[in-house]
Amino acid sequence: MSFRIMGTGSYLPPLSVTNDDIAKYVDTNDEWISTRTGIRSRHVATDETASEMGAKAALEALKDAGIQADELDLILCATVSGEYIVPSMACLIQRAIGAHCPAFDMSSACSAFLVMMETAAAYLATGRYRRILLVGTEQMSRVLDWTDRSTCILFGDGAGAVVLEPGENYLGSHMVFMGGEEVLNLPTNVGNSPYWTLERPRDTVNMNGGETYKFATRTVPQEILALLEQTGTQQSEIDWVVCHQANQRIIDAVARRLKGIAPEKFLSNIADHGNTTAATIPLLLDECNKKGMFKRGDLMVVAAFGGGLSCIASLIRW
Ligand code: ACO
């Protein structure tokens, strides 16, 4: 037994920051950012935290699923930019929405939403839980160096959520994990220990853009092709591809490698949202769902990559 998606929700903070806005304080311009990344604007939180945005997305997903918070059996949450490490974002969301079930966070950077889906599928298969809420929420603006033009232009804030119940619609996954911090990292604070002898790391996102780009354009098509082979699925059967929204050029490069899937099936909202890390996939799923784009029975590939390094592709029937 796997899962069925009962409902989706999302939330974006109201302030939209354009490339021209960012060009006022770092040496960049709209032309560079939009041609290199496809990003034109991103939402940025001014007075809301990751858990607060996550709770708003969660309430919308519950409403869409037609269930109450106290009917949930488990809440999983993913973030790299939560306002606390302790307590977990999942626990704060649990309280904010009025749930009473177990709640904990899962860490896998931009791949985390698919890691949570994999985990939820395993829990549902045991029969231990029947209704699971997954939330990806990010306040990336608090973990960026806003003087670093190579990273601050890429990310945005927002949250997305889905509610799952037992079903037959999670058809498989294929993944690769390659441990290492060299290409992409976000250090935690080391505090002020008088015994610490090494350098204090910069506690903002550090990224080798070129290496990340190469990793993504190599592994995303590779994992999708392996997934299709594993599940006996033809590219022509795929109705939608929901890729992690990190760079439109990465999505376009993946589409070029998968010639059997028409380019218009590769969904995108990066132009207005930037990269919302663990939130990109549930945000995109919710926006397309609310536009009525998905029909019951549609077959979709959902693929993510990120720090770890990691890359996961999953096959889902809507
Ligand atoms: N505006 C203007 N110029 C810039 C900017 C900017 N915002 N940023 C960098 N540049 C300059 C660089 O300084 C460099 O100048 P130089 O040649 O004089 O040294 C030049 O532009 C080219 O820089 P590159 O880094 O080579 O540019 P590239 O074409 O590789 O694009 C980018 C950079 C957009 C970051 C690209 O590498 C990329 O998208 N990589 C993948 C990023 C990604 O997927 N991140 C996801 C992280 S995982 C997760 O989601 C957490």
Terminal alpha carbon distance of the chain: 15
The pLDDT of residue 1 is above 80: no
Which residues have C-beta within 8 Å of that of residue 193, sequence separation ≥ 6? none
pTM: 0.96
Structural domains in the chain plus CATH codes: 2-168 (3.40.47.10), 172-317 (3.40.47.10)
Question: Whose CA is closest to atom 22 on ligand 1?
Answer: 150
Question: Whose CA is closest to atom 26 on ligand 1?
Answer: 210
If you measure from the C-alpha of residue 20 to the centroid of ligand 1, how many angstroms do you get, rounded to a whole number? 17
Residues 54, 77: contact at Cβ < 8 Å? yes
Residues 237, 194: contact at Cβ < 8 Å? no
Give tens-digit pLDDT for 7-56: 999 999 999 999 999 999 999 999 999 999 999 999 999 999 999 999 99
Distance CA 224, CA 241 (A): 10
User: What integer pLDDT is reported at residue 191 of this predicted model?
Assistant: 85
Ligand 1: nearest atom to the Cα of 216 = 44
User: What integer pLDDT is reported at residue 202 of this predicted model?
Assistant: 82
For a mutational test of ligand 1's pocket, the pick from 18, 40, 150, 276, i.e. the residue with the most ligand atoms closer than 8 A to its C-beta, is 150
Strand, coil or helix: what is 17? strand
Which residues have C-beta within 8 Å of that of residue 177, sequence separation ≥ 6? 308, 309, 310
User: What integer pLDDT is reported at residue 318 of this predicted model?
Assistant: 96
| Ligand 1 binding residues, C-beta < 6 A | 28, 32-33, 36-37, 109-110, 149-150, 153-154, 184, 207, 209-210, 212-213, 216, 246-247, 250, 275, 277, 306-307
If you measure from the C-alpha of residue 209 to the centroid of ligand 1, how many angstroms do you get, rounded to a whole number? 5
User: What integer pLDDT is reported at residue 243 of this predicted model?
Assistant: 98
DSSP state of 29: -
The pLDDT of residue 314 is above 60: yes
Over pLDDT 70: what percentage of the chain?
100
User: What integer pLDDT is reported at residue 264 of this predicted model?
Assistant: 96
